[in-house]
Structure 1
């Protein structure tokens, strides 16, 4: 009997689960997924956890193939030379191939006082601490959400719908990704919910205290609970492991998602930087990237040339409380267009998508190889963009080992 091939997946988020499930379609592969939590976090529902309408978790056995071994551990370092990962607990796990899918987290705020007094919401434990802080605060307490992106918008709307007095500090503009029409739709919904939206250069948080937020234009906002949603970062595992990363710490890969340093390491999700042109951090990108990463490994096992990245985007979906939402349509290369679906239909579409994501993962768990969306063509925009960047990583790297 031939020796089994060991694949380790580091990270149990959207990309990691999809990759792990898909890898089980090869009978000769043993898959181990290493994740610091025993539950799957529905990150796109963390604002609901803060608002008390969902727990934002699912059992791994609801989304993970039975053949995948789950280790509840934290990876401290990857030794690419010896093909082994070192665990924070002191143990090690060897591998023949590795999927790097460590995701992203809240960026450390540089604003004075923000790290001490503001609540991030990018992780499960952070959202749980925020929920506890909100429960402890009076019903009429002033709540300030810093960050005008989708996380800030969703959090502000969710809390306002429960009756909270919410101010949303956007910095430059509300919903930077949105088309002007979509932005106006969101602004109308925020006004209806009573959210005070602050935009423009002066509406930038420059200091946070235990009970206030100070803006660049000198205004001081009373804030008994401050929520920080401005920016995401990636873990530094790749850099600590001596692997090449981009300026943000994402693992640099070619267009097959293969590390520039080692053909046995592939990356997927928020922590991947293919050709130094990373995709927008989102589960919309993470799940297809997870499937692509698995396909790259399976192609190499079979001695075949892996296919290159061909990502397509549909747009951006944002909930605006439980009774409204917006689906902002976009071109295939992720640029918003004028058309959107808002209001109650937008809310229903957002919920349909959230449930559909779990169904995609569960479907791949039950029938590995059934997921096909990563093969839908994103057009030639990425190829044209790559051609204009001579200093970017090669589309398909040549490896020394």
Structure 2
């Protein structure tokens, strides 16, 4: 038996857990996951935590493969040359291979007053804090949700279903990924729940105060609780460690998900930017990228050439409270089809997807190497060629 190989995974989300479980295929590999909290957070459930219909936590004993060590701590620096990770509570952990899966959160709002008076929802602690605030706030109080993506829509719907007075504000269109037909259905569902939807550039937020939201066209909305779901940000660990990142702070990798600065570092999930063309943020993508990152590490351990990532997006889904939803089918290039499922069927498919995102981790823990996903092989290579030639991609 060859010498033991230490694989360290930074981040215990969908990508990190999938990668950690999959690497255990080799008997001579020791796997350590570094994560700042002792429980797994299924982020697809955070809007339910805010609404009080789910606690949004899963015990790691249910989803981590036997033998994977969990270190509850934060990582403050990666020493690529010395192959070590410095821990927030002191000390460090050495590695032979590192999987960078630190995930994402909301970017710090640049709107005046938002950081002081708006409540984010992108982490467990933020969602728990908001839940506590809402518990102490009368149901009749005005609530404003900023952001027209899935998180904003689902949070607004969850709270409106409980009888709260909710306004959903988005500077663009609500549900930008959705096909226009599905978007009309989404507006209908929100209206039925009593959500007041404000869209377009005139509805962009210019300032937030303790009891109001100011819009770009000069309107002022009374808002006792303002919830901020707009924007995207990642931890600055890679940049602070001297590794190259994209403009958003995601670790730059090649198409095998290998860091362009150090081949013993592989990245997965929201914090990775393969070829500077990151995949859309989703639990589905995170799990698939985590599996591919593990395969890249296993290939390198075996002295084999890792394969480029090949991933297509079959769908995306949004819930509108506990009783209805939209399941939007997508083309392989991650654009929406005309076809979508709505109502109870859409809700059932959404719930199935949420449950499956965790079930895949459990399955991989018990049978490492089993996870598979839809491939494409066409659209991403076209995007890469277009990027290299500085010409627009022609995608059929």
Question: TM-score if structure 1 supplies the norm length?
Answer: 0.96
Which 4+ runs in 1 deviate beyond 4 A? none
Answer yes or no: is 1:285 the counterpart of 2:313.
no
Does structure 1 residue 382 correspond to structure 2 residue 373? Answer: no
Matched residue SS, 1:280: coil
Q: Is 1:170 the counterpart of 2:165 in the alignment? A: no
2:360 is equivalent to residue 360 of structure 1: yes
Equivalent position of 1:109 in the other structure? 109
Which residue does 1:182 correspond to in 2?
182
Unaligned runs of 5+ in 2: 391-396
Q: Which residue is 1:350 aligned to? A: 350
Superposed, 1:1-400 pairs within 5 Å as 1-373=1-373, 376-390=374-388
CA-to-aligned-CA distance 1:106-161 (integer Å, 9 cap, x gap): 11000000000000000000000000110011110000000001100000000000
Per-residue deviation, 1:200: 1.2
* Paired residue secondary structure (1:290): helix
Verify the 8 A CA contact 1:21 1:365 in the aligned structure 2: yes
* 8 Å Cα contact 1:171/1:200 also seen in 2: yes
1:215-244 Cα offsets, whole Å, 9 max, x none, are 001110000000000111010000000001
Secondary structure in structure 1 of the residue aligned to 2:167: strand
Contact 1:333 1:379 (8 Å CA) reproduced: no
In 2, the alpha carbon distance for the partners of 1:324 and 1:197 equals 18
What's the CA shift for 1:391? 7.7
- Normalising by structure 2, report the TM-score: 0.97
Q: Work out the CA distance in 2 between the residues paired with 1:188 and 1:379.
A: 37
**CA offsets per residue over residues 9-43 of structure 1, 9 Å max, x none?**
00000000000000011101000000000000010
Structure 1 gap segments, 5+ residues each: 393-401
Give the whole-Å Cα distance in 2 for the aligned partners of 1:254 and 1:117.
40
Equivalent position SS for 2:252: strand
Contact 1:107 1:231 in 2 (8 A): yes
Aligned with 2:77: secondary structure?
strand
Partner SS state of residue 334, structure 2: coil
C-alpha separation between the residues in 1 aligned to 2:289 and 2:245? Answer: 18
**Does the CA-based 8 Å contact 1:157-1:320 persist in structure 2?**
yes
Query: Contact 1:9–1:33 at 8 Å: present in 2 too?
Result: yes
Shift of 1:311: 0.8
- C-alpha RMSD of matched pairs (Å): 0.9
1:2 CA displacement = 3.0
- SS of equivalent to 1:233: coil
CA distance in structure 2 between the aligned counterparts of 1:201 and 1:258, rounded to whole angstroms: 39
- Asked if the contact 1:332/1:379 (under 8 Å) is kept, the reply is no
What are the superposed Cα offsets for residues 66-103 of structure 1, whole Å, 9 maximum, x if unpaired? 11000001000000000000011121000000000000
Q: Deviations over 1:354-375 (max 9, x none)?
A: 11111100000011111111xx
SS in structure 1 opposite 2:170? strand
| Aligned-residue offset at 1:269 | 0.1
